[in-house]
Amino acid sequence: MEQWSNETIVDFRRTLLGWYDAEGRDLPWRHGRNPYHTWISEVMLQQTQVQTVIPYYENFIAAFPTVADLAQAPEATLLKAWQGLGYYSRARNLQRAAQQLVTDYHGQWPETAAELEDLIGVGPYTASAIASIAFDQVVPAVDGNAFRVFARLLMIDADIAKPKTRQIFTDIIQPIVDPQRPGAFNQAIMDLGSSYMTAKNPDPEHSPVRRFDASYRAGRVLDFPVKTKAPRPKLIPYYGLIVHSPAGYLLVQRGSQEMLSGYWSFPLVKQADLRDEKQSDEATEEMDLAVLEEKWARENQLTLTLQPLGGRQVSHTYTHQRWQVKLLVAELTTTPSLDFLPGQWVTADHVTALPLPKVQEKMMARYEQQVGHAVFKEN
């Protein structure tokens, strides 16, 4: 690993911040040093591109201008504002932390990374980002960009897939952070990692910190950072039930213990839940449908005649799971009650008013594609 002298560190800070002052991205959450704005943006940016986040951020801040507004927002309103960003537990944790700030901290923000980590859902990176940007604490914000930038600059070969590696990088970067402008330093590293030092197709030759880049000098840029491959997401086959009655389409709200909790979708049934272990290899779709119809008649008091929709299955990937959904349709001539099912009949014009996960949007799009016309109108 490359070692920098104090003179090199000072030179690096000056070079990096000079470039950042001239070329740093003009992002809406960088206008001022409001910890609430920094927090919301950093949570949204987890697993999501900057250009995707900008309109979500602006709409979110308009809907919930303060921590108190977020704390008291109805859950359905919050989830609707978050719809499309994915990783929906982030939205719930934001509200829980906002309630914590209002109740336990009387609206006053903790100002150190260690204290900020006591907030629900706030991890080491987000805490350090808020502490450095809003409160000038001299701490490194170690995210994917920081891992990549410093792994290449210093040729650090620690595996960033291992949890203990974060502390290794934190200890290495800590003395390099500019003590006068820690927030700008961390944001400059973010911008560097998103431009000249991207994961794929980097441009180290034109990087403003090229002369500090040990991996560039060694011709090994793409060897860093070192990261072992994560296991592939587990494939989980589902049936998605599009049930239509004179009163509308059947949508159910995901339970508190399920993924996508609080969001609404067509009923989703795991194919494995319709089969015992001995049947799993020899079960057919026809057998599944018979079991599913019997199960719904018995458990939900709904008599359905299900037919495959046809066309491609819907696929959606989460961090550890890949859902593959085969759509089934049932057309009812009367509207049964839903006394035994946590769902409701929703007219096509009102479906999109509910908070919907991305997989539901994909199921609706596939249904409209098969029927040949628009069904669900945006509100």
Q: Is the peptide bond before 225 cis (omega within 30 degrees of 0)?
A: yes
Indicate the pairing of strand 264-265 with strand 268-270.
unpaired
Give the tokens for residue 45.
């940016």
Annotated catalytic, 42?
yes
Is there a contact between 287 and 379 (Cβ–Cβ < 8 Å)? no
Report how far residue 261's alpha carbon sits from residue 89's, in angstroms, rounded to the nearest whole number. Answer: 8
Which residue type is seen at 219? G
Report how far residue 71's alpha carbon sits from residue 175's, in angstroms, rounded to the nearest whole number. Answer: 37
Which residue type is seen at 176? I
User: Is the sign of the CA dihedral 182, 183, 184, 187 positive or negative?
Assistant: positive
Which residue type is seen at 245? S
Report how far residue 120's alpha carbon sits from residue 100's, in angstroms, rounded to the nearest whole number. Answer: 8
Is there a contact between 9 and 100 (Cβ–Cβ < 8 Å)? no
According to DSSP, the residues that pair with 245 across neighbouring strands are 248
* H helices present in the chain, as ranges: 6-23, 35-44, 50-63, 67-71, 75-82, 89-104, 113-116, 124-135, 144-154, 165-173, 182-193, 214-217, 285-299, 358-371
* H helices present in 105-143, as ranges: 113-116, 124-135
Report how far residue 266's alpha carbon sits from residue 253's, in angstroms, rounded to the nearest whole number. Answer: 9
Catalytic pick among 7, 23, 42, 58: 42
Closest CA to 271 of 211, 207, 323, 335: 323
**Active centre residues (catalytic):** 42
